[in-house]
Structure 1
Amino acid sequence: MVSELTVSPRFFVLEKGALRSRYDVDADTAEPVNCEEGADCPKCGYPIGMMRWLPPYRIELVLHGEELGDYLETQGDDLLVSERFAQAFREDGLTGLEGFHPVQVGRVRQKRRGPKLTNIPQYLAVTACFGRAAVDVARSRIRYDKPPTCEECRAAGVDSIHGFTLEPGTWQGEDIFRPRGMQGRLVVSERFARFVERHGFTNMRLTPTEELVRDPLALGPPGPKPGSA
């Protein structure tokens, strides 16, 4: 009999590339910056999203590496993707991103000595949807400051993460989304991971959700739950 672990879909956390990498860059919104309030939980009213960026979409870049990649992060929940990424995303039929607003790139400051950068991609501003997939609290290794109380958003104070999983049956097939219980993280499907590898998109780091470790206070993983063997 095939186990549930074998047939369960795999998920990855999407982050920008590492600091001091070839594609290390800071993207800052440029004046005028217009924003509106982010999303709230429809059940308890807790804020689950950061401020949303509104037109005009203008940025300034500080390049610490050698060239600009296909994926950049800005303040808030907004993301920047290259035109070639956006085109492939649509052509391959992936889901979960919204917006695709053209962005005007102003000044590009290069921190490394070398020839002036001439190849500046066309970027588009996108946001990832809030998915129905929910963090499986019982099966994840998360140390909570304040455990979730709302069954809808499952928002909680998290001190450390030593791997997490999604509750079976809650994912609705999006290729990139923000899960309930961890709206501050971008989670992508296995199909998205293959898509990134196939096209060779840059400045994207994918970590299996069960291998993600974030422990800034060095608290270590949570101990066994009461009554467990």
Structure 2
Amino acid sequence: MASDARPRFFVLDRAMDSSHDTDFERTGGPIGEAPRCHLCGSFIGMRVWLPPRRGALMLYREGFGDFVDAGGDDYLVSARFVEAFRAEGLTGLSDFEPVEIVRVRTRRRSAQSKLPPPYFHTVPVFGGAAVDEARSRIRRHKPIDCDWCRETNVPAIHGFTLEQWRGEDVFFARGMPGSPIVSERFVRFVERHQFTNMKLIPTEKYTWDPMGLGPLRPEL
């Protein structure tokens, strides 16, 4: 029996309740306009966080994470992540720019004296792949009317697959709001370097359904 040669993808999320669970709150930096689709004009991302970027870290457990959600489409990554990402030639993240950490809040007495590593701001590229509608179980409020951005409101996701992948290792998929998507190569990269505060969920098993609507169609 021939094997399925389609590449696999994973949703990248923060690993809450892990040993390196770290959060971030912005305290400075202006906000610019949100990006729009070049064809239909729909918004394809959140408003842009501009430098000088600064904020406070919340350290929930033992150590600082290598990956931190900074709100919107923005993320912070540690210096060791940046060094390895560049050295191994991975793609899909914007230029890494330093972020000023003005304060660290902790909930564990043992962590109160720890100094954070240098952190850098980055944003995943938009459009590295598109949702394969025929092979996905996604509820939409309206039909897709722009084949490039595929932007619609999505109230529920019960697994999805992608098409038209351009080869990036980290990206926001067209037609899939929310968390960034990563390649198998990125997953191996994370495992090899033991990067922390990352949860990697296979796209076909990813579920997001805050209103309990259920899947649109039976499992494929």
Q: TM-score range by the shorter chain?
A: over 0.9
Partner of 1:176: 170
Partner of 2:2: 2
The structure 2 residue matched to 1:36, chosen from 32, 37, 44, is 32
Misfit runs of 4+, over 4 Å: none
Q: Secondary structure at the match of 1:49?
A: coil
Aligned-pair CA distance for 1:114:
2.8
The structure 1 residue matched to 2:197, chosen from 194, 200, 203, is 203
Corresponding pairs, count: 220
Instruction: Name the CA distance, whole Å, in 2 between partners of 1:107 and 1:8.
Output: 45
Percent identical pairs in the alignment equals 52
Aligned-pair CA distance for 1:113:
2.8
Aligned-pair CA distance for 1:222:
1.0
Q: Which has the higher strand share?
A: 1
Instruction: Name the CA distance, whole Å, in 1 between partners of 2:156 and 2:177.
Output: 15
Instruction: Name the CA distance, whole Å, in 1 between partners of 2:114 and 2:58.
Output: 14
Instruction: Name the CA distance, whole Å, in 2 between partners of 1:186 and 1:199.
Output: 20
Aligned-pair CA distance for 1:92:
0.5
Please report the RMSD computed on the Cα atoms of aligned residues, expressed in angstroms.
1.8
Does the 8 A contact of 1:179 with 1:185 survive in 2? no
Residues 1:214 and 2:219 are matched in the alignment: no
Aligned-pair CA distance for 1:115:
4.8
TM-score by length of 1: 0.91
Instruction: Name the CA distance, whole Å, in 2 between partners of 1:52 and 1:157.
Output: 20
Deviation string 1:85-142 (CA, Å, 9 cap, x unpaired) is: 0000000010001120011111111122335232411000011111241101111011
Alignment of 1:113-152 (within 5 A): 113-152=109-148
Partner of 1:223: 217
Residues 1:22 and 2:16 are matched in the alignment: no
Partner of 1:193: 187
Q: Structure 2: 5+ residue runs without aligned partners?
A: none
One-letter code aligned to 1:143: R
Partner of 1:227: none
Does the 8 A contact of 1:27 with 1:72 survive in 2? yes
Aligned-pair CA distance for 1:26:
2.1
Alignment of 1:151-162 (within 5 A): 151-162=147-158
The structure 2 residue matched to 1:13, chosen from 2, 8, 11, is 11
Aligned-pair CA distance for 1:61:
1.2
One-letter code aligned to 2:207: V
Q: Structure 1: 5+ residue runs without aligned partners?
A: 225-229
